[in-house]
Amino acid sequence: MNINDTGKRDFDKEAPTWEDNPERLRMASAIASGILEQTSPDQTMDVLDYGCGTGLITMALQPYVRSITAADSSIGMLEVLAAKAGEAGITNVTTRQLDLETDDPLSACFHMIVCSMTLHHIEDIAGLIHKFTAMLHPGGYLCIADLDEEDGSFHADPTGVKHFGFNREYLAGFLESGGFQDIKFNTAYVVTKPVQGGRMGEFSVFLVTGKRARY
C-alpha cells in the first residue's frame, strides 16, 4: 500500500539508541540467519548492505564474506557502526553514505546486496531495484527483508514511510521486471509490539531472495 508522506525521518537523532530495542535486535538476528540459510555466502563474496543502519545485519554477515560495504543515508547510523567495527577490530567492513533515491549506483559490483527494513521508506521501488541490478554481478543475490502489507499501525510516527508493507506478489513483479530469477519468499520474523489503543500487534516480516539473471 502506497502512502503520500513527503517527510524524512531523522535517523541521525535515533542512531545512539537504535540498538536499545530488544525486538529490533531479535528481528535483525532472524533476518541475518535467513539470509545465511538462503544464500550460503563464502569468503569470495563482496556484499552491499543498503540501508544498513547501525549494522545489525552487517555485523552478523561479515564473518562469512570477503567484504561488506555498509551504506546508509544517515551519517549518525554509520558512525555507530564504524565505532562498533573499530572496537571489534573488524577490517572487512567499509561504511559509505549513500542515498539511492538521489545518488547514482556505486561503480563497484557485488556478489550480494542486502536491504533490510528499508524498502518501505522508498517511493520508487522499480528505480531502486534497477540500481541494485546495476551493482550486482550476474548470478548475484538480492535479499530484501520488509513488512508484509499492514494497516499502517506498525509505525507510531509515519514520517518517512512510503508503503505500509508490501504484497508479496506485487513485489515479486518488480523483481522479475528487474531481471531476477529464482525468487523465493519466506517469513523471517513476526514483530510483536504495542500499537494504538493499547493492544499488542503482530506484523510479519518477509525475506525475499532472487538471483540476477546471467544474461
Pairing, β 110-116 against β 180-194: unpaired
Domain 11-212 has CATH 3.40.50.150: yes
| pLDDT number for residue 18 | 81
Backbone angles phi, psi at 109, to 5 degrees: -120, 135
The one-letter amino acid code at 116 reads S
CA distance 140 to 136: 6
| pLDDT number for residue 215 | 66
CA distance 155 to 162: 11
Divide the 215 residues of the chain into consecutive groups of 10 and give the mean pLDDT of each group.
53 87 96 98 99 98 99 96 98 98 96 98 97 98 98 86 96 97 98 87 97 88
The sign of the CA dihedral 64, 65, 71, 76 is: positive
Delimit the domains of the chain by residue range.
11-212
| pLDDT number for residue 162 | 94
